[in-house]
Structure 1
Amino acid sequence: MISKEEVQHFAENGYLHVRAVFSEQEVEDMRNGVDRIVNKAAQSRYDRNHAWEGDYLEEKELKKLVLKGFHDVHYQEAAFTRAMVHPNMTSVLQQLIGPNVELHHSKMLVKPPENGAAFPMHQDHPYFPHEKHTMLAASVHLDDADKENGCLHVVPGSHKKGPIPHIGQHYLDQKEYSIEEGTPCPAKAGDVVFFNYLTIHGSLPNYSSRTRRNVLYQFRDPSDLPVKQSHVNWGQGLMVSGEKPDYQEYKPEKILQTR
């Protein structure tokens, strides 16, 4: 559980750092899950480098990668399913979103040492706009993160500006919104940083010799409908707390038709 002051902090600033949500063993289970996913993907035709080209390489050559990303990781490893319904996670979500909480998607991001790319400042809103803006991200840290290895930076209170036009839908004008001017959010492994999808955020490159691994979940109130059909995932619609206000069908063929 989080305090009323922390709930108010999220409402006012658009983000909240909650410490020790997951135990050392739970973090280790997720780390191992990340490793297995990357290794299996590298042997398949589904290998992905998130937004940048690249292949998964041996540890000695890992620095050549920029950023490794895979969506819907809870369909690959049970550790990620346990994490999103963990009592420590859902108790926070219930206070930030409400009694009914629905998963939109999950993904993992691996920022490799020494050459892990920056993520320019942006809002998540353009990717999956919703009517009531209840969507938030829960960034689960699997490694200690600081400014040296590219921790998250946020602009407190920026969610109150509402949707902001992005360049090519992806990023804000970096002359107006620089990562360096954001507030850094250093965190320990097992911590979770929650932030509204309208909160401006980004991260600097990983200049360290340490990998930075995160699992990111996007959650919403199930009554908060998308403005348009976008960013459809197999995991979309899974309830992690409470109930849906209406009966809805979720069929794979309907999802595939939108891709």
Structure 2
Amino acid sequence: MLNADDIAFYRENGYLMVEDAVSAEQLARLREITYALIEKSRAVSKSDDVFDLDEGHSAERPRLTRIKLPHKQDPYYWDVLKNSRMTEVLTALLGPDAMIQTSKLNTKAPVGGAAVEWHQDWAFYPHSNDDMLAFGLMLEDVDEANGPLQVIPGTHKGPVLSHHSAESGLFCGAVDPEDPLFERDKAVTLTGKAGSMTVHHVRTLHGSAPNLSNRNRLILFYECRAADAWPLVGSASYGKIASGGGQVLWDHFADSVITGSMTTEPRAEAVPMRLPLPPAPDAGSIFKTQKSGGARSAFTAREKVGA
């Protein structure tokens, strides 16, 4: 699926675009399941364990920011990750033993669907090494109008920028637009046809503007790690699981294996990191973390109204 030039490009730039990451049949089934879930959200009036609701959501006009943990909502999302061209990309970049960190389906509703402020995934969940990445599978065509993913090449080799609010000191899940190390003018916009997939390294700076089109922007994200990358204390991603004890944590990891097997020998590397503490008042999703933590927006008023 990937050739040597593709892999070298990813290693150097911290991102990659892959076309036809799933078959036409797999794409059609994923869309069918996804739209059925959006229909199901009509019965929901507040965010829950499955749906993050956007402003203006109603039974008549469902508006979501996210479907949480889609691989837990329908087994087909999990099956496709384990049995598609995505699987080949995963092993090419992370090796034979890989696990899922989390998944999410960012639905970004038409005409104003929420932005995702600029951040590095690594800031949310530092591990013993940074052999971690995110896939963004486009379930519909993505163009510049509907809030595509943007990345800043090479930032996976640099520092971990502060994701804490300058006012409150809380982890807010976004970099400050005034940070001198935030070079937004170097951003690359990643658009593509349905079935295409973005790949970005866990330390690559990225974000996305509001959806200004009249179409949903449906991107299925899988965040994955090498099996020997183990989480550090302080990551909210594992807080509730770890509180259940060692067996609960082990069982969780066993259920997270995509390819190969687990290990009890973590690999530690000298990589920069910051802990996502103290937490934002509401850390239920990145949208809630950025809002309740007091993140400052890097997106201008002009972008937000679609001028």
TM-score normalised to the size of structure 2?
A: 0.72
Residue by residue over 1:61-84, the C-alpha shift from the partner in whole angstroms, topping out at 9 and shown as x without a partner, is 35xx4x521222112213201221
Of 74, 90, 103, the residue aligned with 1:77 is 74
Which residue number corresponds to residue 166 of structure 1?
163
Residue in structure 1 matching 2:94, options 81, 93, 97:
97
Partner Cα separation in structure 2 for residue 204 and residue 179 of structure 1: 13
Any conservation in 2 of the 1:126–1:169 contact (CA below 8 Å)?
no
The count of corresponding residues between Structure 1 and Structure 2 is: 242
Does the 8 Å CA contact 2:133/2:201 hold for their aligned counterparts?
yes
Kindly indicate whether the alpha-carbon contact (under 8 Å) linking 2:122 and 2:203 is maintained by their aligned counterparts in 1: yes
Q: CA deviation at 1:158?
A: 0.4
Q: Which residue of 1 aligns with 2:303?
A: none
1:230 to 222, 233, 236: 236
Equivalent pair of 1:121/1:178 in contact (CA under 8 Å): no
2:212 pairs with one of 207, 212, 216 = 207
SS of the aligned residue for 1:153 comes to strand
In the alignment, what sits opposite 1:125?
Answer: 122
Q: Which has the larger Rg?
A: 2
Q: Deviations over 1:211-236 (max 9, x none)?
A: 11011101101111111243138895
- Per-residue deviation, 1:245: 1.9
1:115 aligns with 2:121: no
Q: Which residue of 2 aligns with 1:183?
A: 188
Distance (whole Å) between structure 1 residues aligned to residue 133 and residue 118 of structure 2? 16
> Match of 2:5?
5
SS of structure 2 residue aligned to 1:215:
strand
Deviation at 1:41, TM superposition (A): 4.2
Match for residue 255 of structure 1? none
Equivalent pair of 1:48/1:55 in contact (CA under 8 Å): no
Instruction: After TM superposition, give the deviation of residue 118 of structure 1 in Å.
Output: 1.7
Report SS of the residue matched to 1:169.
Answer: coil
The percentage of aligned residue pairs carrying the same residue is 28
CA contact (8 A) 1:155 1:183 kept: yes
Residue 175 of structure 1 aligns to which amino acid in structure 2?
E
- Give the corresponding residue for 2:14: 14
Q: Could you tell me which residue of structure 1 aligns to residue 257 of structure 2?
A: 239
- 1:25 counterpart letter in structure 2: E
Q: Give the stretch that moved more between structures: 108-117 or 151-160.
A: 108-117
Counterpart for residue 146 of structure 1:
143
1:171-210 deviations in Å (ceiling 9; x for gaps): 1112343766511011111011111111000111111111
Q: Tell me, in whole angstroms, the C-alpha distance in 1 between the residues paired with 2:89 and 2:202.
A: 16
CA-to-aligned-CA distance 1:136-180 (integer Å, 9 cap, x gap): 101111011111111110000001113221133311112343766
- Paired with 1:56 and 1:4, the residues of 2 have a C-alpha distance of 48
2:57 counterpart (39, 55, 58): 55
Go from structure 1 to structure 2 and tell me whether the alpha carbon gap of 1:93 and 1:236 turns closer, same or farther (over 3 Å shift): farther
- With over 3 angstroms needed to count, the CA separation of the structure-2 counterparts of 1:14 and 1:57, relative to structure 1, is farther
RMSD, matched Cα: 2.4
Code of the aligned partner of 1:108: L
Instruction: Compute the displacement of 1:30 (Å).
Output: 1.1
